[in-house]
Structure 1
Amino acid sequence: MKDYSDQEIRQKELRSMIVGLGKGSLRKSYFPQLQEQIKALRLAKEKAEENEKKFSLIFDSTSDGILLVSPDNGAVYLCNRTACHMFAYSSEEMTSCMIADLFTESENENDNLLEKLISNSESYRSALRHIPMKTSKGSIIYCDINTSFVEIDANRYLLILFRDVTELARIEKENKEVQARLFQAQKMEAIGTLAGGIAHDFNNILSGIFGYSRLTENCIKENNHKKSLYYVEQIQKSAQKATDLIYQILTFTRMSNPEKHPLKLSLAVKETLKLLRPIIPATIEIKSKIESSARIMADPTKIHQLLMNFCTNAYHAMQEKGGILYVTLKEIDCTFENCIKDLDIKPGKYLELKVQDTGKGMDKSIVEKIFDPYFTTKEEGEGTGLGLAIALVVIEEHNGFIKVDSEPGKGSCFQVYFPVLDKKSPSVVINRKETLQECGTETIMLVDDEETILDVTGRILKKYGYTVVSFIDSSDALDAFKSDPDKFDLVITDMTMPGMEGNKLAAAILKIRPEMPIIICTGYSDRISEEAALSMGIRKYVEKPVITNNLALLIREVLKK
């Protein structure tokens, strides 16, 4: 027996009523009712058509691209005019596409794209931001994407809204580049401030090295080995101080990627104060109180810059009459009841960094402007006015908060609050592998354009039992490797050399022997990062100077692999 729909049943009833109209008795009872029903149906049809027009108008007029997609296979079921224009497809072409056709290869190579969109919809997450997508013409646009589920005719679809933010993405990229240049410019200004102190420290270190080396020479002539060993130890300590100083300077000045790692803020504070002490006159006393070794998630370079900005500002405020620079660090537990006044700070554990001076202070009108770019109270030529503006950017990037208190004649106090990192979060642990044997019998190719380093390193490695073949010219080293690639078990090369640089030499060697272990050493290079070195097949990336025992352990580690 056939099942009839509601509409078919209604039509049969109407036909019966119309047939009945031929009889006089029925005409009176059915005709008015039929007219009302026909009128109601006509009005309902007109209303439906009107609603459909309104929907189509809204659907096609919205500035966001809209797609209805099957959650089963990603097929596009429906699209609006904006989506067609955005991706340069006709309506027919668009509804013949799969959703994956609109994404770039890099996005498709990630986790299953359709699953990612469905997951984003089901978990009510915020929009996917600045996702690269491709048009039918092959050009790349950037979109913010929102997703949700809808039901149409008892079928479930994934509703995807695309907002073209290509121009916004371009502006944000340009702003980041400008901000990076401003950071570097301000760092160079700070380095200018530090230059005198750095020269002072290096001169002291060199004086110690020259003095102890002369004393060692005399002891050797006198055959006094005990004193000689003591003086050599002092020379090594002085060299380590120089190494630490160079590390601090490079940490502060290098153009770093904005990568955040678990950082002990206490160590950054101590390093900054070490750099500052030589340049601050004796009339200014530094008092520090470090009460916490808690960690924050931070970019070490930017945190150093932040600390330097606050401390140098405090120093300048007390330059004329002297005073005390207080630097304190402690952990606080912020709750709803005791949240810091005037700050919209979330409850939780924070590190409070306080930099306070007893200088001339500022009135309220100046305090309101100190974070404005290029605003400065210093004399012309003494500063760019970028220091505190950049400090504020750094604090915001690290989800921190800042509070400033200052009064004329009473000094200034800057209090910064950073969220404390969960103790369970992993830290970078340096595994020195002290149990490894330091000696070996392998043949090592050693390449460096500095004769002293080549001679010293070669002699040390021979003491550990290795056969060392040294090259001062990287081209000669490559020729030797080409002539007998199996002669060498390990290559240790400098990075910055005239002619062929270390990374080029390594690439050429790896082309001949892809499994060849290579260690690259660098005093400082902006040509290659550790990440880039490792990605091209180099086993280890080491910064000079390399301590003898560490190099021996490193060699065993690399050869063991």
Structure 2
Amino acid sequence: LRLIVGSIALNVAAELSFTRYFGVYDFFNELGHLFKIAAYYLLYRAVIVTGLKKPYHLIFRTLQQSREELGTANLVLERHVQEQNTEIVRRREAEDALSRQSRWLQVTLNSIGDAVLSTDTKGRITFINPAAADLTGWQPEEALNRPIGEVFRIKNKEIHQPSEDIVQKVLQEKRISALANHTVLITRQGREIPIEDSAAPIVDSEGKVSGVVLVFHDVSIRKTAEREREAAVEFLRLANKARTSQDLLRMAVDFFQRQSGCRAVGIRLEENGDYPYQCTSGFPDEFVEIESRLCEQGDRGTVIREGSGRPALECLCGSVIRGSIDASMPFFTGRGSFWTNSTTELAAEAAAAGLNIRLRNLCNAYGYESVALIPLRTGEERLGLLQLNDPRKGLFSAGSIALWERLVEYLVAALTKSRAEESLMRSEEELRRHRDHLEELVRERTIELEERNRQLEEEISERMRAQEEKIRLEHQLIHTQKMDALGRFAGGIAHDLNNMLYPIILNLQMLAEEPSTDETRHRTLHLILGAAYRQRDLLRQILSFSRPDEQSLKPMGVSELVRETVAFIRSSLPSTIEIRLDITAERDTIQGNATQIQQIVMNLCRNAADAIEPHTGVIEVGLANADLPRRLATPQMRAGEYVLLTVKDTGTGMTPEVMSRIFDPFFTTKEVGMGSGMGLSVVHGIIKGHGGAVTVESRPGQGSMFSVYLPVTAEKPEGLRLKPCSTPREGEKRRVLLVDDEGIILSSVSKVLKIMGYEVTAAPSGPEALALFSERPDAFDLVITDHTMPQMTGVELAARITGIRPGIPVILCTGFSEAVNRERLRKTGISELLAKPADMQELQDAIERVLDRREEEDSAYGEVRASAASDGPER
């Protein structure tokens, strides 16, 4: 039994050995076979020993029992072997997955753009990817197991001190941490690279920190862009403060000297073909004096030029300005700049290579090693160059030169703008000296230019506002010209109407003076004559529209005038608009002009009707008395009693914005061509001229009400006075030559003059009158002539007549007296100007004035002659 059990144990050991082998000749494979051989040996030996000692049936019984036990053990063994095989397969799959993940992680870390380092808890590098190797300058195989401080050397650029150990900080705090600003990485070669960095702890599945991973990247490009942006903003801010191009140059030199750190900076600009220094800082005076001129000069100091007409610039500065460079050479840039970090080495290398770079030796002689020449140009125009010099070597880099080239573009733009503005200012100043009447315009333009220098961002909007203002003024000018033309047209109409009204007034006066017992006829004539006078006043208002003049004010009653005006307006309104009149004023006498008061009522009613149309509505016109207490008095309205004229409508009303502008000239809410915008402006002016005031109440959709206050006067209104015409003094039968091309006027005036007692000779034209006068110059005491006549005007006739008989009184009648120059009339011999249509009294007064003046002159002349005659014998 012991042998059988031992055989079974060896079989189990053999199977376990087979589960551990990996190759045919593996140790565990050989050990398993040895266990198998030993197991078979014990089994055979047990069979032999048992067969010799026990009976046959006992042997097989024991074998039967052993076989059952062996079967049970074999099942257990098979299950155990299966479990072991499953575990081995799982472990192999896990190892394969871990291997794949490790390879993927390795590829990923090597492929990302950021630099990655990892360390153990002692700060030794356990991993470094290619990006980190490139930045630090350490190869991965060299960096592994080195202290982090040896490979990852960092410092704070602002304070020039080593930065804190970020690995130790993360290990202590066990949280993500970042580097401070202004951190630079010092590479293995000693180069400084600005970086941004973050570090995080590496935590295993049990929560233990096994190391630190650092991720960092180069921010040189971003730092350069930020520096360029900050420099550009600062330059533009300073350039905006510069008032002149020289201020701009001084600012630019200081700016580039501060930004570059160079000891000496200068700017050359074109001047008379050469490129002298216009502004420098840091250069010795003798250096500037010697180096200022670039071009060769002739005997007379003129610049020597090449066959193409360009100045002869043989030095390196001239080559940079002209753009005559070889961009393949390392000391030239693609934009045409020159730079070197050692003039000594450059000169030696150029001499050894046989290159003629024409670098002036004076820079090197004064100890300048780092030299940069950056051209200033705009398009094809070469303005000059920016020169940067410093005695230190290695001051420049390709990046810094590129930065200066970009900043120089701002300098060129600002310089071009400043020069253009200065040129414009000089031109405007010259224009102002030669054209004095444009002085104000030039001043405004100069102020505008100064303002644009201070606020460049408002330039476009200022121009747009100026253009809008110009358009507005042009529209206003066109409107003014239109109104002027309308005024001239109105004046022409008034002239013709005056000619028509003249004989009407005269004939009415003659009829009114005829004796009659018919009171109705007499009253009718007075009414017609009053209407004619109002018509005359209206025509004079039309004439005043074409040539505004101060209107005379006299006491007048308002009630009857308002009643007549409303009646006239009612006939012109559509049937959809009702007009109501309510007159309660007991004291309605004001100092006013009837035509202008009528104009107020008509304008306000017309506007009210326009606000109602095309709908139905009501216009209410009221006239009442109103008292203004002293406590409510203003400089415009004194305390006292007023006539209150109100015009109220049920129209559309007005917004506060519209209501604030309704009295502005040319302001209108009507469509183009439907209104001039002058109606309420004229009304406002008339009311002010009468010492009154106007107020407005309105709301959108609720109509409007205008209230006009006119001060009451204690004077009595003038009635229609018909003065009896005086007749010539006895024994003085005066002879009048009357000239007019209008037959009815000629007839009417002749009749009036005859009634007055004058002898009248009538002539229908200037030539006929001149012929009559030429035949008998002494047959006339007075000439009355119309102004506007065909063939010969009244002025021409007067000049011809006074040429024949100097001193004869001449009265010129005109329907448009405003168009006549009174001073010029006196020089032509005209004694008096009579405005049509004149009544009989005005005609008589004019005749008496000129005849009285003539008598006074004759009397004075007679006294002088008598005095001269009496003094004659004594001499």
TM-score normalised by L of structure 2? 0.33
Structure of greater Rg: 2
Select the structure that is richer in helix.
2
- Structure showing greater relative contact order (alpha-carbon pairs closer than 8 Å, 6 or more residues apart): 1
